[in-house]
Amino acid sequence: MTVLHLLLIGLAMIIAGILILVYSIIKEGGGRVEAAGLVMIGPIPILVASSRRIGLALLVITAAVLVALIVFTAGVAS
């Protein structure tokens, strides 16, 4: 997997996130707000969330991203 592929995957994820935010704002129109954040320091993820539900969702997403990075970079290292 080349750097261009990873760049395109990252760009697609950013656009998908923005579209999900816009959709949720239009659909809900306000109300309860939940937030979460992820900081990667090397291979160590640090999760911050406003509720347990959103924290678990972010944990699942983080695990999927880490697995994808391991799988896609395994071929690059050899």
pLDDT digit string (tens) for the chain, length 78 residues: 688 888 999 899 999 988 988 887 788 766 677 888 888 887 788 899 988 998 899 899 888 888 888 888 877 655
pTM: 0.54
Whether 48 and 36 have beta carbons less than 8 Å apart is answered as yes
Q: Which helix (H) or strand (E) is 38 found in, with range?
A: strand 36-41
Same domain? 28 vs 45: no
Burial class (CB within 10 angstroms; exposed 0-12, middle 13-18, buried 19+) of 45: middle
Q: Which residues contact 54 (CB under 8 A, 6 or more apart)?
A: 34, 35, 36
Same domain? 44 vs 74: yes
Number of domains in the chain: 2
Tokens of residue 16, six digits: 């998908």
Same domain? 27 vs 45: no
Same domain? 46 vs 68: yes
